[in-house]
Each structure stands twice: as C-alpha cells, then as structure tokens.
Structure 1
Amino acid sequence: MVTDEADQGGRYTFYVATEGKPYILKVVYKGAGRQSTTSYSAFDEPLDVRPPAEADILDMSAAGN
C-alpha cells in the first residue's frame, strides 16, 4: 500500500502475481471522495496501436488565445 500525501492521504493498493513473472494485476485507489480500480491482463500479448484518423484529430494549438 502506498499513501499519496499530496492527495490528502489517498491510498493505492497494488496486487502483484505471486506465481511466474511478478506482473501488476490490479491497482485500487481510495481517496477523498473517490475510488478507482485498474485491472491489467493479456501480458506479453502484442498491441495493435495505430494513430487516429485525420478526422479524429483536434488542433488545440490556438485554444485559450
């Protein structure tokens, strides 16, 4: 368990495989007014990562000017 002092004591709990490679299986966060769980799987599987289509890209360089 890890405590995040910058987040008013929010706590992270890490679940790690105890057999085979020590992969992180799950991370649970509990903090002031919120909680989240992130689970991991499909270790050592190839990823199919592609850039978004041109139509799905927003140019934010002029935002806030």
Structure 2
Amino acid sequence: MTDKEDAEGVYTFHVATEGKPYLLKVAYQGADYRSTTFFSAFDAPLGVRSPADADVLDTSAAGR
C-alpha cells in the first residue's frame, strides 16, 4: 500500500493467516525513515483511565 501524500513510502501489513485474521505488524519504509509497529495481547482487557485533572493541559487559548 502506498500513501498519496508520500509517493515513495510503502506500508506493509502483516495479518495472521490462521485463526482470527488479527493485524500483527505494520511496517513502513520511506525515503527518510522506517518504522515498525507490532500488535499483540488480542482480546485482553485494557486498563484505560481518564487522566487526572492535573495532567490535562487546557489549550483553548493557544494560538490567540
């Protein structure tokens, strides 16, 4: 797969071929850099919580 914004960059998606077709890895190779993202722990619960008020940055006045 290629990105219209980055004509030289190429994405490669690796998907499980047995069992559920989970996305296992996404690799990107461009002119300036490469990156790889791995996925695991499928169907495992996530411990996602809202940040504490003290950790939230108010950006409503930014750029004024």
TM-score by length of 2: 0.93
The one-letter code matched in structure 1 to 2:56 is I
Write out per-residue CA displacement over residues 2-46 of structure 1, whole angstroms, 9 at most, x where no aligned residue: 011311321000011011000000000011201110000000111
CA RMSD of aligned residues (A): 0.9
Residue 50 of structure 1 deviates from its aligned partner by 0.3
Aligned length: 64
Higher helix share: 1
Identity %: 66
| Counterparts of 2:4 and 2:32, CA distance in 1 | 15
| Counterparts of 1:51 and 1:5, CA distance in 2 | 35
Give SS of 2:13's match.
Answer: strand
Structure 2 portions without partners, runs of 5+: none
The one-letter code matched in structure 2 to 1:50 is R
Q: Note the 1:49-60 alignment, pairs <5 A.
A: 49-60=48-59
| Counterparts of 1:42 and 1:29, CA distance in 2 | 22
| Counterparts of 1:28 and 1:64, CA distance in 2 | 35
TM-score by length of 1: 0.92
Q: Which runs of 4+ in 1 moved over 3 A?
A: none
